[in-house]
A and B are shown apart, each in its own frame.
Chain A
Amino acid sequence: MTPRHLWKLTWLELKIFAREPLGLIGTLVAPPLTVVVLGRAFGRLPATSARLGAFVSIDLPVFASILIALNSVLSLVTIVSIYRESGILKRLRATPLRPRTILTAHVMVKLMLTAATLALMVLAGRRAIAIGIDLRVARFTIALLFSTLSILSIGFLVASLVPTARFAQPFGGIVLYPMVFLSGLFFPIESLPPALQTFARVLPLTYAVSLLRGIWKGEAWIAHLGDVAALIVVGVVCAGLSAKVFRWE
């Protein structure tokens, strides 16, 4: 894999993505808009409810970030299966492009879009919720990209296995959304029944939520080494497995 090839393909895929209006709106416009609308709705209420305040200042940004990450996973699964189904992957494979260059380019595109969406949300949120662009945002961005990369690897494993693009939506319903539900985003994992607690602890998203929330609150990385380690394990295992089972056609 030469960096030149990788950059060329990444840039090309980014341009191609930008030509699809619906995908562009869904990725770059909708999330910041959500922040503005929700931020205005809740932000104008008198800050009497500490719970509501916590929701707007901590949970809303984390929730929105997780949605961006999941959105990129879903679109990665979709795009890889479309590319496979229509023979694009096969055509690319019959060139000197190495497989990992093609796959890395797609991951890069998703990461860049995730970063761009986050930046737009911060800009939008600065007015609505009055968050400052500071060191915390920078660290949060790194945490989000890192989490996204780890979750993307799950997406890749699924994308390596699913036969058709139509599988992408059920995958969202069956795997991703229950994962969001159980990840501790909406209620603490400790409040779940014991069996579900165990299940929640093997979900990679649980660690992503814990990491993002912690970093957003201003906690140190060192306090979340466990989360980071879990996300690395997930990433390495899934990337390794998908390299083994990846199908070109």
Chain B
Amino acid sequence: MATVIEVSGIRKAYGPTVAVDDVSFDVVEGEIFGLIGPNGAGKTTTMECVEGLRRPDRGAISVFGLDPVRDIYALQQRIGVQLQEAQLQKRIKVWEAVDLWASLYPRPADGTRLLEQLGLADKRDAWFLTLSGGQKQRLFIALALINDPEVVFLDELTTGLDPQARRAIWDLVRGIRDRGKTVFMTTHLMEEAERLCDRVAIIDRGSIVDIDAPAALVTRHCPERTVLLTTEDSSADARFRSIPIVEAVTRSDNRYTIRGRGPDLVTEVIRCLSNHRIHVTDFRTETPTLEDVFLTVTGRSIRD
């Protein structure tokens, strides 16, 4: 896969405040790449440097081999941008915005079809101010896609949306990737990153902590797994303790909590149940999430 975005060693300070320091990562063609971290971690600053809206103090950025600041107008033909907390004119109609944006590019996508795909067809004549949060974000996605871009930038796309609208947006973002486009997104929602991103970069206090696929990050930083099950079998306790990779078994009445490390724990527990014909009435597993990874690598919760 070709690398479309290369960021190496960028730094950006606003006065005495260093927003981003020595940030490096690559985004490859066709993936959904997420920059994740708490608010104020430097996500938006980093993204806006890549979009050419800000000039980093140090370091180099290349998008399709272009310099985002110097070649901004060449770059804008090939990228689509959705900005955090952007607005349009209150009384601009949906179709007018799409029409204006379409007029700015030599080979625009079909605006009417785009609005249909994003579920905004019946909002064509609505003023921007009358749209709901989810509709506004879908309109911004439409505007980001109007030039049929190769890379789409989505900054905190679902912040402030209700869970239902959020899920609808996630499907749309997957649809963008399925059409062969590269997506570079930021989010402070770990669930969103986990469900959507092929790879994520964890950023905290302006620095990248680690980069990988969400599942790989979980395996690397949070290898512990937990199996919770319920059984009447009196021999179960001893059987579970004899599994080599099990580290702890706690019991409360018939409910067992089995802890261990590594992805094999679940398989080993199931094998043990099967070998000894232990009858269970309930079985579930607990896997660490990106939130746990964040807590482990930064020493604090992302919700703080």
**Residues of chain A having any CB pair with chain B under 8 Å:** 4-5, 8-9, 12-13, 15-16, 19-20, 83, 86-88, 90-91, 93-97
Contacts and interface: CB of A to CB of B under 8 A. Distances in A.
B166 to A, nearest CB: 21
26 contacts: A5-B103, A5-B104, A12-B92, A12-B96, A13-B89, A15-B96, A16-B89, A16-B90, A16-B91, A19-B127, A83-B89, A86-B87, A87-B86, A88-B87, A88-B89, A91-B83, A91-B87, A91-B88, A93-B53, A94-B53, A94-B83, A95-B76, A95-B101, A95-B104, A96-B104, A97-B104
Contacts of B89: 13, 16, 83, 88
B87 A96 contact: no
B238 interface: no
A235 B81 CA distance: 35
A91 B103 CA distance: 16
A93 B90 CA distance: 17
Given A16-B89, A87-B86, A94-B53, A9 B100 contact: yes
A86 B104 CA distance: 22
B222 to A, nearest CB: 37
Contacts of A9: 100
A4 B106 CA distance: 13
B51 A94 contact: yes
B14 interface: no
B283 interface: no
Interface in B47-82: 51, 53, 73, 76-77, 81
Given A93-B53, A96-B105, A12 B86 contact: no
B122 interface: no
Question: Which residue, of B81, B83, B87, has the highest number of chain A Cβ atoms within 10 A?
Answer: B87
A16 B100 CA distance: 13
A8 B105 CA distance: 13
Given A91-B87, A95-B76, A96-B76, 6 more contacts: A15-B96, A16-B89, A16-B91, A94-B53, A94-B81, A96-B73
B253 interface: no
Interface in B103-143: 103-105, 127
A15 to B, nearest CB: 8
B100 A87 contact: no
Given A8-B100, A12-B100, A96-B77, A20 B91 contact: yes
- Top 10 A-B pairs ranked by shortest CB distance? A91-B86, A19-B91, A86-B87, A87-B86, A94-B81, A87-B87, A96-B104, A16-B91, A96-B76, A16-B89
Contacts of B90: 16
A96 B100 CA distance: 11
Contacts of A95: 76, 101, 104
A87 B104 contact: no
Contacts of B86: 87-88, 90-91
A94 B147 CA distance: 13
B103 to A, nearest CB: 5
Contacts of B96: 12, 15
A15 B96 CA distance: 10
B227 to A, nearest CB: 48
B127 A87 contact: no
Contacts of A12: 92, 96, 100
A91 B149 CA distance: 17
Contacts of A88: 86-89
B171 interface: no
Contacts of A83: 89
Contacts of A86: 87
Residue among B77, B85, B88, B89 with most chain A CB within 10 A: B89
Nearest to A4: B103
A174 B111 CA distance: 46
A88 B92 CA distance: 11
Contacts of A94: 51, 53, 76, 81, 83
B247 to A, nearest CB: 51
A152 to B, nearest CB: 20
Which of A13, A91, A93 counts the most chain B CB atoms within 10 A? Answer: A91
Contacts of A90: 53, 83, 86
Nearest to A101: B104
B92 A16 contact: yes
Contacts of B87: 86-88, 91
Contacts of B51: 94
A13 B90 CA distance: 11
A33 B294 CA distance: 66
A94 B100 CA distance: 13
A8 B103 contact: yes
A128 B9 CA distance: 72
Contacts of A87: 83, 85-87
Nearest to B104: A96
Interface in B26-41: none
Contacts of A5: 103-104
B150 to A, nearest CB: 15
